[in-house]
């Protein structure tokens, strides 16, 4: 009698653990392949592999499990690199388009310069050919028009497709940076929950990558805060001459450059150089201490120290060049601000103030105003004086209506004035004879008196009439 064996409890508990081991082995393989592809430059494939690894671990352990943190960090790092690659491709395409436009403009200018002086024989040949071909062209015009319409439609459809592709690419750029930020933020939160040195340093690396994402997106204030948090953790758990601290100082300097904080950027670049120099000095001391040792560990340590020194010595000149570039940029910005300020002051001086005269406005424009006088030589007080001198009283020339009682008195006065006028004429004639001997000055004075007497007589005759 055959009996079937029932599954034991050990086999039932072993099956889920076996499945978990298989899942973990698959996730580890995906992580290794993704890191290898990321180092080799195949970033899109690395992004795909890290994404699959994150999905597997999240389904197995949960989204906020500690086992998912390395995958989240690697996925965010790969997405950041992919976004940088896309931005470089777009910049290169724009540069090529600008170069093509310049080449086309140069060719068009050369063609115009070469076709400006055609010969007379060529013109005659062209006219003959045009007359002979005019009849053929008339028959093919309709076909050409239809072909052109079809080509235009095809081109429009292609343009629509290209626009959709460009929009899709732009959307992917934004999405990649957004996904990178979300993935790195999850890794940071998970690592910060643990207080051991390794987890805290991983959280510092997540802060640093978040700062790089902020640099790419232009959120400079948040990027500065993230990198400062990274430095705070690194200074707590690392030696002051470690390379990680130098890298953080360099990234913080870059963010300050793009934010326009030139002084802060120079300060952080100098700190990065000082940390690297301290690291080189420490490595040289270790080489001197272990150079005579024949143990494999010491020999390997010396070799690693020499290679690291070589790498660091290549990095230092680049950072120092960045410092000089930042100093020059600071000077140019200051010069531009000074020029803009001077131009604004000149414009304010050139605009006439309300209530000023035209002479004063001309003086302000020419810039030759001193002691309140304009270029014409007149000040505001002089102008007022000249106006006072030129004004004369003409009220005596205005004729007014008289009362009938005053008319009789005026007729008697007119008679007396006529008699006095005749006597003055005789007297003036005598004075002319006596004053002619006194010279040309006296004669001029007599002529003036004669003209005044004549005017008085005319006025009296006019009143009598």
Q: 89 vs 179, which has greater pLDDT?
A: 179
Question: Quick check: 234 and 248 in contact, CB under 8 A?
Answer: yes
Residues 85-142 pLDDT 10s = 988 887 777 777 777 777 777 767 666 555 544 444 445 455 554 555 455 555 555 5
DSSP letters, 260-318, are T-HHHHHHHHHHHHHHHHHHHHHHHHHHHHHTT--SHHHHHHHHHHHHHHHHHHHHHHH
Residue 192, both tokens: 């910060």
DSSP 370: B
DSSP 436: G
Residues 264-305 pLDDT 10s = 999 999 999 999 999 999 999 999 988 888 888 888 999 999
Question: From CA 77, how far away is CA 75, in angstroms rounded?
Answer: 5
Q: What average pLDDT is seen over the chain?
A: 74
Contacts of 380 (CB under 8 A, 6+ apart): 357, 360, 372
- Output the pTM of the full model: 0.59
Residues 439-457 pLDDT 10s = 444 444 545 555 666 666 6
Residue 205: Cβ-neighbour burial (10 angstroms; 0-12, 13-18, 19+): buried
Question: From CA 337, how far away is CA 64, in angstroms rounded?
Answer: 51
Q: Which of 84-93, 231-240, 312-321 has the lowest mean pLDDT?
A: 84-93
Question: From CA 92, how far away is CA 96, in angstroms rounded?
Answer: 6
Comparing C-alpha atoms, which of 1, 130, 24, 22 is closest to residue 71? 24
Comparing C-alpha atoms, which of 415, 253, 406, 407 is closest to residue 319? 253
User: What is residue 122's three-state secondary structure?
Assistant: helix
């Amino acid at each position: 009698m055959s009996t079937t064996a029932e599954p034991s409890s050990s086999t039932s508990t072993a099956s889920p653990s076996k499945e978990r081991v298989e899942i973990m082995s698959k996730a580890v393989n995906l992580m290794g392949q993704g890191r290898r592809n990321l180092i080799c430059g195949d970033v899109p494939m690395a992004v795909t592999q890290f994404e699959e690894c994150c999905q597997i671990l999240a389904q197995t352990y949960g989204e906020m499990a500690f086992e998912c943190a390395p995958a989240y960090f690697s996925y965010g790092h790969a997405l950041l690199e992919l976004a940088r690659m896309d931005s470089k491709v777009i910049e290169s395409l724009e540069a090529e388009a600008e170069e093509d436009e310049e080449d086309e403009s140069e060719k068009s200018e050369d063609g115009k310069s070469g076709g400006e002086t055609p010969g007379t024989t060529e013109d005659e040949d062209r006219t003959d050919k045009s007359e002979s071909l005019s009849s053929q062209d008339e028959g093919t015009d309709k076909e050409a028009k239809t072909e052109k319409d079809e080509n235009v439609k095809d081109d429009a459809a292609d343009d629509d497709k290209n626009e959709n592709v460009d929009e899709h690419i732009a959307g992917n750029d934004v999405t990649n940076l957004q996904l990178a930020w979300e993935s790195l933020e999850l890794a940071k939160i998970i690592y910060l929950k643990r207080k051991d040195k390794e987890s805290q340093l991983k959280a510092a690396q997540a802060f640093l990558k978040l700062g790089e994402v902020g640099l790419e997106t232009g959120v400079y204030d948040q990027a500065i805060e993230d990198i400062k948090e990274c430095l705070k953790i690194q200074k707590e758990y690392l030696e002051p001459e470690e390379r990680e601290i130098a890298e953080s100082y360099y990234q913080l300097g870059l963010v300050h450059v793009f934010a326009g904080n030139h002084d802060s950027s120079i300060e952080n670049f100098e700190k990065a150089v000082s940390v690297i120099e301290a690291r080189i000095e420490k490595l040289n001391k270790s080489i001197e201490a272990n150079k005579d040792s024949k143990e494999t560990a010491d020999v390997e340590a010396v070799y690693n120290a020499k290679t690291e020194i070589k790498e660091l010595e290549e990095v230092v000149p680049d950072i120092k060049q960045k410092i000089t570039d930042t100093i020059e940029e600071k000077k140019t910005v200051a010069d531009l601000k000074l020029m803009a300020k001077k131009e604004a002051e000149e414009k304010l001086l050139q605009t006439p103030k309300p209530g000023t005269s035209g002479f004063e406005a001309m003086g302000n424009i020419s810039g030759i105003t001193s002691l309140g006088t304009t270029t014409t030589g007149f000040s505001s007080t002089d102008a007022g004086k000249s106006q006072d001198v030129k004004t004369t009283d003409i009220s005596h020339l205005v004729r007014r209506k008289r009362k009938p009682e005053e008319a009789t008195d005026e007729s008697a006065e007119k008679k007396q004035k006529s008699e006095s006028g005749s006597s003055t004429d005789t007297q003036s004639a005598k004075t002319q004879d006596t004053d002619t001997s006194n010279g040309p000055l006296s004669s001029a004075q007599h002529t003036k008196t004669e003209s005044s007497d004549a005017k008085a007589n005319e006025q009296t005759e006019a009143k009598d009439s």
